[in-house]
Structure 1
Amino acid sequence: MNRLFGWMLAGCMILLTGCGIEVPPEKAAYIGEWQATTMYLLITRDGSVRYKRIEGGVTTSVEGPLKAFDGDNFEVGVGPMSTTFIVNRPPYLDGETWKMQVDGVPLTKTAE
């Protein structure tokens, strides 16, 4: 019985990893590695997202698939376990540097 449960759990995890979406072409500027002193955000073309933020001595981390865009904001996670990132200012060019503001934090694109 325990083996069956293990195989079922492994199968569910494999299915859940494919629950994300790719970044739509009109949101391609979001793709890349974004950083600030207290925040790190990586969005890949295939819709994988990695986020880390340090605030008030507490570190928050999120890793998961991109679920959807809602205007400029985007949602990350699987099923009911998801997080919405509020994009105060979508990606824009400042001279030759890409910038964006997420959850009130100004970010600079450091890599594609």
Structure 2
Amino acid sequence: MKAFKLPLLFVLISLAGCGKPVPPEKAAYVGEWQEKTMYLLITQDGSVTYKRLKAGSTTSVAGPLKAFNGSDFEVGVGPMATTFVVSKAPYLDGNVWKMVVDGQELTRTAN
């Protein structure tokens, strides 16, 4: 089993740099977004890191940005992809940027 994991890990790390850069019209998505139980980092070069605690378990995703579909975005490689449902695209609430992803309101904590 270990012999299988090492090549798979190498392939995933190699492909992590294959993300599509965030298009200019979606630049507001770039940044570090958080709330108590969820963390999302989207970089300009198309790298995405996500972590969520729900019902006592943790879900994590790290990978390249594949595409935007309207407000939603897809992360992963080939058939191994996850779609993040954005019910409210990034918006200013006073002086604070917010976005609703997978039903959670996130606040941008860093660009």
Which SS does the other structure have where 1:28 is aligned?
Answer: helix
- Note the residue ranges of structure 1 that are not aligned, 5 or more in a row: 1-5
Match of 1:78 in 2: 77
Indicate if the aligned counterparts of 2:17 and 2:47 stay in contact, CA closer than 8 A.
Answer: no
Count of residue pairs brought into register by the alignment: 105
Change (3 A) 1:25 1:94: same
Max radius of gyration: which structure? 1
1:100 equivalent to 2:89? Answer no
Query: Taking structure 2 as the reference length, what is the TM-score of the superposition?
Result: 0.88
Find the aligned partners of 2:53 and 2:99 in 1 and give their Cα distance. Answer: 18
Change (3 A) 1:54 1:22: same
1:37 equivalent to 2:36? Answer yes
Query: Taking structure 1 as the reference length, what is the TM-score of the superposition?
Result: 0.87
Which SS does the other structure have where 1:26 is aligned?
Answer: helix
Deviations 1:67-99 (A, max 9, x none): 000000000000110000000100000000000
Quote the RMSD (CA, aligned, Å).
1.8
Give the partner amino acid of 1:90: A
Deviations 1:56-75 (A, max 9, x none): 00100000000000000000
Which SS does the other structure have where 2:26 is aligned?
Answer: helix
Match of 1:47 in 2: 46
Q: CA deviation at 1:19?
A: 2.8
Find the aligned partners of 2:17 and 2:101 in 1 and give their Cα distance. Answer: 25
Match of 1:3 in 2: none
Q: CA deviation at 1:18?
A: 3.8
Which SS does the other structure have where 1:19 is aligned?
Answer: coil
Query: After TM superposition, which residue ranges in structure 1, 4 or more long, deviate above 2 angstroms?
Result: 12-19
Change (3 A) 1:80 1:92: same
1:22 equivalent to 2:21? Answer yes
**Percent pairwise identity:** 68
